Amino acid sequence: MKKCLKILLLLCKIFFITLGVLFVVYFWNLDQKLMEWAYRRVNTIFDKKKADIQF
């Protein structure tokens, strides 16, 4: 019984920690800020490449 209760307590801790992290990401819009940073880096990489498209 104690082992089952410990496992349940561990699962509850993991659930609430995950919920807290997801709330912080949602509240401060961190996913979009990360994507904006990544797009800037990718654009600087591709802007340096020479375009070989001819019309």
pLDDT at 52: 80
pLDDT at 2: 93
What's the pLDDT tens digit per position in 5-55?
A: 999 999 999 999 999 999 999 999 999 999 999 999 999 998 888 878 777
Q: Which residue's entry shows tokens 């591709």?
A: 46
pTM score: 0.67
pLDDT at 6: 97
pLDDT at 55: 73
CA distances (Å), origin 1, targets 6, 7, 9: 9, 10, 12
CB 38 within 8 A of CB 30: no
CA 49 to chain centre: 28
